[in-house]
A and B are shown apart, each in its own frame.
Chain A
Amino acid sequence: MTSDPNKDSAGPPPKPASPQPASPGPLPLRHAGHHEWATALDHRDRTWWFDCIARLAVLGGGLSAILFIGAIFVFIASQGIDFALHHLNWLDFLFGKRWEPTVEPPEYGALPLIMGTCWITGVAMIIAVPLAFGAAIYIGEFARGRQREWLKILIELLAAIPSVVWGVIGLQVMKPIIQHVFGVQVGLNVLNAGIILGLMAAPIITTIAEDALKAVPETYREAAEALGASRWQVIWKVVLPHARPGLSAAVLLGIGRAFGETIAVLMASGHRLMIPESVFDSAATITATIAAELGEAAHGSEHYQVLFVLGLLLFGITFGINLTADWIVRGRRSRA
């Protein structure tokens, strides 16, 4: 990009000491009596200053995004960091099997929460990814016209259903179905939460995956079809390989969504603080634990602080997921 400082003179920072000041001194041309109007070129009028202020104002809006993401990190870290560095035994925290913050002495073994999160996210992805990719390929490559519009609208509406409503569905609809179909006692379990989360994450994965398919240039498809390949061969051999980075980003963002979901999991998972051994066990996730316990933890107490440590863990993992997904998508664009 250009770094010529003169090029920025349209910009807001008024340069008081520019190297060749356009001084209002007597220029030869004005002596000759020409171009009286030209004085306006050196006059910064009201609109100029207004533009300058407007630019600063909207820049402030843009910077607020950085400010907030920074503030989220700083606030969560500041509440938990002291405890995390001085009092928390990280080995016990990451591998301890007992999460009992309210008994004396308290135990902060987060392994049940971590495992619960992994189980539920895993089940959700097993359900969501095939559904979402199938739907994305159908919408992107086969569906036409009105059918395509309707499918897209339905999936968009599906994505808009609030998580607490999903929670009610898990509690009131899925629970009896699971009890009945699988003949198990506990209806609120990994499977229930996984199905609910899968249905929640699928629309997001579908939308992003469809964008990735759409980004494959139409000329590639035409070239392959001109060689006599059938539609499915084109998709399998040309479109999918080309869209792979976008598809992996879609899965990553889906994981991020499932991983960070709170209320629906809290309601559908049964919230049992034990490492699940099968999909029919109840389980607890990191997010649900924070939600369940933040209300009863006294401000500033150890329990309160350890919840912020969990939050920091969540923040770090989702930050990593989002950065990776963003990097995959951008990297592909810049190569294309």
Chain B
Amino acid sequence: MVTEPPPLVSVRGLSIHYGDKVALQGVDLDIKTNEIFGIIGPANAGKTSFLRALNRMDEFVPGMQVLGDITFAGRDVRTVRNLYALRKRIGVVFPLPVGLPLSIYDNVALSPRLSGITKHAQLDEIVERCLRRAALWDEVKDRLKGLGSLLSGGQQQRLTIARALSQDPELLLLDEFSIAVDPVTTMRIEEVLKELRQELTIVLVTNLVQQARRLADRTSFFLGGLCVEIAPTEALFSGGAREQSTVDYLEGRFG
């Protein structure tokens, strides 16, 4: 038998509650290494909650309860001994950009520094590489000492992506990253994501159906806390959707 490489993330019976409210129910899925996994769906479908559960950010949300199993690289994320090491391996980009009130350079160098890298040459190299990757280098290379929190929204979002890349993550979670970014920059970041697929795995939550189509290898459709279906993107968009609700959403009848 041919052994398929084991999935990077596997989720079994995942349910998420906020107090009495159920945000996500009974989700089973696998995310393979080096794929872009798209998640589409209308608001309140549980997409963001799903991402939060993946890197254990539920801890920051009072009242958020996660049930079920999530394994990352074969480890149950709820019982890893070093939670911070887990988060270091999972980069996150939030919908609203967060430029930390540090200099642009320090924003990107923060994560390497936290891991104990102190050599200037090494830090310079990481900062430049990550900023180039995030298509921000040319705009800020002359003012790396400026405050990251005073950049424009689109620039801050790219700074956030650069910061996530500086962690050297295995898995990158993008939560509707294009909300605060202009279309041209969005296209540039999408190009970057396609390249990044060579080295890491990406979960792309998006409210733009066409973005999932352009980027994702497989796409799943979330609706009202349920994972309605998961299919290879091509199949899904060329009429291969099994569920009526998926077809309706893709065709824009609701959302």
Contacts and interface: CB of A to CB of B under 8 A. Distances in A.
B74 A29 contact: yes
3 tightest A-B CB contacts, nearest first: A29-B74, A38-B73, A35-B73
Given A41-B80, A41-B86, A43-B81, A10 B75 contact: no
Interface stretch (B57-65, B152-160, B228-236, B244-252): B57-65
Contacts of B64: 2
B198 interface: no
Contact of A45 (B73, B79, B82): B82
Interface string A27-56: 111101011011011111101100100000
Contacts of B65: 2, 4
A170 to B, nearest CB: 48
Contact of B6 (A22, A28, A42): A28
Interface in A84-100: none
B23 to A, nearest CB: 14
A7 B5 CA distance: 30
Contact of B82 (A30, A34, A40): A40
A45 B86 CA distance: 12
A147 interface: no
B84 to A, nearest CB: 6
Interface of A: 1-2, 4, 6-7, 9-10, 18, 20-22, 27-30, 32, 34-35, 37-38, 40-45, 47-48, 51
Contact of A32 (B6, B63, B86): B6
Interface of B: 3, 5-6, 8, 33, 56, 58-59, 62-65, 72-76, 78-86, 89, 114, 170
A100 B163 CA distance: 75
A10 B85 CA distance: 11
Contacts of B76: 20, 22
Contacts of B78: 6-7, 9
Contacts of B114: 47
B59 A7 contact: yes
A29 B86 contact: no
Contacts of A38: 73-75, 89
A65 B81 CA distance: 32
A1 B58 contact: no
Given A2-B63, A18-B79, A47-B114, A34 B6 contact: yes
